[in-house]
């Protein structure tokens, strides 16, 4: 079965390219402090706003810092936010979705009304309000993105559980006296893992995009720590004389999010039993 999945995935060249890029990005993020050709925090006003060259591959910013090194170190920030936020989303969304779909009744009603309330509030406004109250830093950004992204996943997992819980092997497990936690995590969860993986893959790209937007607005990762969003924010003020400060961070965000979306779409096609 795994070999069949691999062969079907390999036929999607765009998805393979996206997966390879994500792997390279993860390696770059892991070894970023050693791969940076220059100190990302070192300032040199003599070299400020220099264009791409053999010395500074992607130019320098308004304080003379090497843009390539800052984008490379910002990769670690963006991926950390994406994976931690999605991990928190999975923890909450999968647990609530499994419980609501399996037990039903009042628990299902309470969970779904909570989902309806969360979905009725624009996520970006809620994120901005909470960050304005708690203060902007990377840990708050991770937490608030994860805590606002779970309703859609909860609804997805619940819908899958509602159909699976009526199957014969689930009824047999109940009659056999198997405990509810074991049924949830041994019998139900493996059968809904496919849509969860797809949702998680797409969610990482969304979390990176949200973090970049927050950092661009000054409510995300704070300088001097480099983030794709705050590098882009600096470039906004020098767009007419330093185009590289806007183009290269934007390209990094675009290619990364596109790679995760391509991977998610490919996983949806590969894991869909109807195909």
Instruction: Enumerate the domain spans of the chain.
Output: 7-32+66-271
What CATH number should be reported for the domain whose range is 7-32+66-271? 1.10.3720.10
Mean pLDDT calculated for residue range 240-248: 90
Say whether pTM exceeds 0.85. yes
- The helix/strand/coil state of 43 is coil
**How would residue 249 be classed by pLDDT, with cut points 50, 70 and 90?**
very high
Rounded-to-integer distance, Cα 83 and Cα 243, Å: 30
| Size of the chain, expressed as the number of residues it contains | 275
Task: With a cut of 60, say whether residue 148 has pLDDT above it.
Answer: yes
pLDDT of residue 140: 86
Give the mean pLDDT of the chain. 87
Measure the CA–CA gap between 89 and 207, rounded to whole angstroms.
10
User: Is 120 buried (19+), middle (13-18) or exposed (0-12) by CB count in 10 A?
Assistant: exposed
Confidence class for position 1, pLDDT limits 50, 70, 90: low
- The DSSP 8-state label assigned to residue 46 in this structure reads G
Give yes or no for residue 209 having a pLDDT over 70.
yes
Is pLDDT of 91 > 80? Answer: yes
Structure-block tokens of residue 116: 């309806």
Sign of CA dihedral 14, 20, 23, 29: negative
State the Cα–Cα distance between residues 2 and 27, nearest whole angstrom: 25
Q: Provide the phi-psi class of 122: left if phi over 0, else alpha when psi is between -120 and 50, else beta.
A: beta
Q: What is the pLDDT of residues 33-73, one digit of tens each?
A: 898 888 888 888 888 889 898 888 898 988 889 999 999 99
Cα–Cα distance list, 166 to 70, 101, 172, 192, 264 (Å): 53, 11, 10, 14, 28
Determine the average pLDDT of the residues in 17-36.
Answer: 91
């Amino acid at each position: 079965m795994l070999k069949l999945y691999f062969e079907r995935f390999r036929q999607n060249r765009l998805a393979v390219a996206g997966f390879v890029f994500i792997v390279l990005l993860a390696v770059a993020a892991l070894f970023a402090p050693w791969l940076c050709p220059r100190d990302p925090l070192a300032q040199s006003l003599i070299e400020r706003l220099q264009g791409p060259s053999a010395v500074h591959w992607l130019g320098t910013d308004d304080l003379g810092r090497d843009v390539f090194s800052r984008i490379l170190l910002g990769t670690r920030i963006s991926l950390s936010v994406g994976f931690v936020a999605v991990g928190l989303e999975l923890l909450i969304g999968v647990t609530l979705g499994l419980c609501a779909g399996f037990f039903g009744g009042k628990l299902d009603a309470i969970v779904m009304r909570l989902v309806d309330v969360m979905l009725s509030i624009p996520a970006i406004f809620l994120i901005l309000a909470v960050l304005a109250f708690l203060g902007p830093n990377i840990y708050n950004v991770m937490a608030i993105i994860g805590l606002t992204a779970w309703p859609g996943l909860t609804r997805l997992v619940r819908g899958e559980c509602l159909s699976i819980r009526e199957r014969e092997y689930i009824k047999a497990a109940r009659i056999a006296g198997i405990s509810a936690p074991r049924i949830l995590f041994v019998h139900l969860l493996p059968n809904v893992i496919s849509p969860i993986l797809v949702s998680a893959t797409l969610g990482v790209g969304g979390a990176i995009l949200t973090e970049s937007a927050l950092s661009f607005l000054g409510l995300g990762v704070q300088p001097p720590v480099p983030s794709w969003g705050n590098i882009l924010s600096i470039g906004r003020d020098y767009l007419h004389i330093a185009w590289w400060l806007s183009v290269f961070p934007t390209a990094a965000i675009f290619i990364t999010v596109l790679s995760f979306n391509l991977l998610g779409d490919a996983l949806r096609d590969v894991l869909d039993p109807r195909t």
